Amino acid sequence: MREHGQRASGGNASSLVEAPVTARACRDVAAFARKEKLFRRTQKILVAVSGGPDSVACLLLLLRLRQQFGFEVVVAHFDHRLREGSAADL
């Protein structure tokens, strides 16, 4: 089992956060989250990630916003088995 904050490739989560997630997307999600009061400090957010672009984008946005809102991100990998080779995403 990987240590908290480590990727399958052995890197840490901070290198993921540097991926090209647009500032506008972060601002829009943060504004919506504030308006709807989605997050609380010390809350744990479970993100199910399949390795596809939508779930990875969701993960990256939450990683960028976690410090601002004070929540912890917990990641669970889920393989839909819809793509050939998807098991390698783990």
Listing DSSP states for 66-89 in one string gives HHHHT-EEEEEE-----STTGGGG
Separation of alpha carbons 25 and 9, rounded Å = 26
Along the 90 residues of the chain, how does pLDDT read in single tens digits? 343 444 444 445 555 555 566 888 999 999 999 999 999 999 999 999 988 888 989 999 999 999 999 999 999 998 887 877 777 766
pLDDT at site 80:
80
The residue behind tokens 């090209």 is: 20
Model-level pTM greater than 0.75? Answer: no
Widest pairwise Cα distance in the chain: 40
The residue behind tokens 């990987």 is: 2
Identify the bridge partners of residue 77 per DSSP, sorted by sequence position. 49
pLDDT at site 89:
66
Q: Which fold, 13-89?
A: Rossmann fold (3.40.50)
- For the chain, give every domain's residue range: 13-89
